[in-house]
Structures are given as structure tokens and as C-alpha cells.
Amino acid sequence: MALTGVLRPGHTQIRVLDIEQSVDFYTNILGLVQTGRDASGRVYMKTCDERDHHSIILKKADRPGTDFYGMKVLDRKTLDMLDSDLRAYGIATERVPTGDLLATGERVRFEVPTGHLFELYAEKEEIGDTLGYVNPDVIIEDRKGISPIRLDHWQIHGKDLDGSRNLFVDVLGFNVTERILAEDGATDMAVWMTCSNKAHDVAFVRDERSDTSHHAAFLVESWEKLLYAADLLAKKRARIDIGPLRHGITRGTTIYFFDPSGNRLETFCGGYNFYPDMKPYTWTFDEIGSAVFYHTRELNERFLTVVT
């Protein structure tokens, strides 16, 4: 697959109740690196391995949740083209100027049918991974906490799943990799979608609670790193939701946990490669337990009900 349009999840702004407590958690437990603060008090962070200035923006608020989801596109020409394509499809767009976020160029912001705010951007300051680009070493020293590789994907919930799914396929060039069918055997209850050859970059779940977030996920390198994440979370008395377990969907391994404000996060490992000539996998409603948690074959109530 030639990545010529939307490249990957690039950043997301997460609302937190206590900014300094959250910075401590995201730095010392999750293991992100702080890269800046702006005049409004927002804190910018990235993983050690990410090269762009930030992938996570923490904003103090009176309730947890996610403000917007940013995706990086190939270049400025692609940004302008997708802006035009969105408007032709009937989606209103807003140009957010350079400088609204630290180190980030102009963004095209739009609301998808599930109520979530997405934005596309082509330019962000590249600050590197400390290894350099000539004869680089392979080890980044002095990593803290879980220290994932990257912001990997999101699972988000809303009523008009069909509208968001179609928009991402028809305009943004995503492919559906997996789906769970509702009890009627025909309606999509949830879909996993990719703009690359990953198993997924975003998942939409049908839910009466539009514009809600289930989790943001961070990739780790191995099952051993995932087990270390579980051990560290337990040692630090972080609130674990469930795991470590394996997903049937994507075949990835996982542990879910909450930040101090109640935002659910995931560390994720594995998953297959997907190419556009592949058919999506389909899971029937009676196998939803195996689809989500393959080992236990059942879902806990908190996993089903808690969103922000």
C-alpha cells in the first residue's frame, strides 16, 4: 500500500482534572516525554520513539474526555485536496491556523457523524527520537515507565456509526478490517478501520452516547513489555480495567487502565498486517466475547459501559 493520503493518528487532546497529577502519571507511569507547554496551560507530550513534536496534549478541564483526534496527512497538497473532498461530501470544515497548537501547522477540522471532532494536518515540527539520522544507535536510554513506541489507535463511540464508517471509507480512504454484527446479523455494531497496513487506526462502536471515547491506545514492542506494563501499573496502584489478555479482533494483546482523571488508556501489542485486497473479518453477535477478549470469552460490565 502506498501511503499517499492520511498517514496515521497524529495527536489527541485529552481533558484531565489535575494537570500536574496527570503530567506525573503520563511521564512516570505511561512514560511519555514532555515537549512543551503553551500559554493556555496545555501540556504537550510524545513517546520516546515518536519523531514529531507531540502526540498527546493534556488540557485541564472539569470533566475527563477527549476534545479532538488529529491525523497526519502526506503533505499540504493532500491537506487541501481532502478539505475540498470533505466539503464536496457535505461535511463542513474549519481551518485552524498555524500556532493554535505548539509546533503544528494549519489544520482542517470537521465533525464526523458520530459527533467527534477530527482534524487533518500536514506539518508538525520534527524533533526526533534522540538517535539522530546518520549512523543511529538502536537504544534510547533513560526511558521511564511503560514507554510505548507510539500513539497507535482510538476506539470511539457514537450513534451514527454508519455515517462515520462511510465517511472514512469514501473520503479519507480507510478500509474496514473487522466488524461485529448486531443481533440482526446485518447491522454493524462495531467496525475496525485502517488507513495503513495496521490492523486498525480507529474503531467506531455504535452507542447512543455520541462523541464519547472508550480509549486511546499506545503500542509496545512485545508481550514481555505488555506484562511489564501490567506489573508496573499494579506496583504504582494505577487503576487497571482488564488484562493482560488477547483480542480476537486484530489478534493483539492488551491491558486497559485509567489515568487519574478516569480516561481509559490501552497498551497494545501485535496484530496482523492488512492490505486493501483483503476481506474484512466478521464476528457474529453470539461471539462478541471471543471477539474482544479471546481468552476469557466474556466482557466485564465496566468495559462495556464506561466511556468519557
In the prediction, which pLDDT does 301 show? 79
Task: Say if residues 59 and 294 touch (Cβ distance below 8 Å).
Answer: no
List 116, 200, 214, 281, catalytic entry? 200
Residue 214 among the catalytic residues: no
Residue 295 among the catalytic residues: no
List 153, 157, 178, 214, catalytic entry? 153
Residue 200 among the catalytic residues: yes
State the Cα angle at 89 between 277 and 111, rounded to 5°.
Answer: 95
Q: What is the pTM of this model?
A: 0.95
Fold topology of 150-305: 2,3-Dihydroxybiphenyl 1,2-Dioxygenase; domain 1 (3.10.180)
List 26, 69, 121, 256, catalytic entry? 256
List 215, 224, 228, 281, catalytic entry? 215
> How many helices (H) and strands (E) are present in the chain, helices listed first?
6, 17
In the prediction, which pLDDT does 64 show? 97
User: What parts of the chain have a pLDDT lower than 70?
Assistant: 1-2
Cell of 62: 472539569
SS (H, E, C) 270-307: CCCCCCCCCCCEEECHHHHHHHHCCCCCCCCHHHHHCC
Fold topology of 6-121: 2,3-Dihydroxybiphenyl 1,2-Dioxygenase; domain 1 (3.10.180)
In the prediction, which pLDDT does 22 show? 97
In the prediction, which pLDDT does 92 show? 98
In the prediction, which pLDDT does 241 show? 94
Q: What is the pLDDT of residues 236-257, one digit of tens each?
A: 999 999 989 999 899 999 999 9
Residue 53 among the catalytic residues: no
Report the distance separating Cα 264 and Cα 134, nearest Å.
Answer: 38
DSSP 211-254: SEEEEEEEE-S-HHHHHHHHHHHHHTT-EEEEEEEE-SSTT-EE
In the prediction, which pLDDT does 297 show? 86
Residue 11 among the catalytic residues: no
Q: Where do the CATH 3.10.180.10 domains begin and end in the chain?
A: 6-121, 150-305
